[in-house]
Amino acid sequence: MGIYALTGGATGIGAAIKQQLLAAGHTLISIDIKDADIIADLSTADGRQQAIKAVRLSATDGLDGLITCAGLGANVNNGALIASVNYFGTVELVSQLAELLARRQGSVVLISSNSAPMATEDGLIKQLLAGEEDNARNTASALSGQASYSSSKQAVARWMRHHTRDFAAKGIRLNAIAPGYTQTPMTAAVENDPLYRDAIRQFVAGIPIGRPGLPDDIANAVLFLLSPAASFICGSVLFVDGGHDASLRPDQF
């Protein structure tokens, strides 16, 4: 059985991943702003360092895997906060826990989004990838929640691909999941937001298989990527979205 760390395990997709890992008999270290083994605010540098230090104390023999599920949705009316949690709350933990992952030839699954390819804020994405948190927050604060969200998720996927070779050299596989619309408390808040309600309903109606995703749909894919069955999958972004990305971008893959 393995030792895994998971951010954002209190609700939604993260809770489903947590449940599946525990059901399989693994040891889990959960990190969240509430209802977790490690309580930490990943929107701040201090909170991220607090989480990293606590994981190091809890997993002295190393980690078999890390899943970065903590994130904020497009309904959050604070682009700067979205950028800090979704991007820096992901990449800083992956980067600084690499030593623990290397000890056990661990695997990392980052949660991106199938809205990531639709991001158009190149300036924000470049600032995120450059690690310029203050500048990125300033840029994101002037954007809509959706623009900040999709940009942060594209930056997460691109960061993963930029670092795949270096992590693989340490024996660590990096991959990302790009969920489509999934029924969670976060997406319910977006669906009930008057600003996004109609667009979300149209978005859901366009899912080729005819239904929105469930948290276990995403968790199933995450556990596969963590498993030995996926040992040759490295640097990939797996769309788990009922065929939505394929229907929206049939000539891009």
- Which residues belong to the active site? 149
DSSP state of 81: H
**Rounded to whole angstroms, what are the CA distances from 119 to 3, 15, 114, 246?**
34, 27, 10, 16
Nearest to residue 228, comparing CAs of 133, 129, 127, 105?
Answer: 105
The whole-angstrom separation of Cα 29 and Cα 19 is 12
Structure token digits, residue 216: 């276990």
Structure token digits, residue 42: 């990943």
Nearest to residue 221, comparing CAs of 240, 241, 236?
Answer: 240
Nearest to residue 154, comparing CAs of 87, 68, 218, 93?
Answer: 87
Task: Measure the CA dihedral 18/21/23/25, to 10°.
Answer: -130
DSSP state of 106: -
Nearest to residue 86, comparing CAs of 151, 31, 37?
Answer: 151
The whole-angstrom separation of Cα 125 and Cα 131 is 10
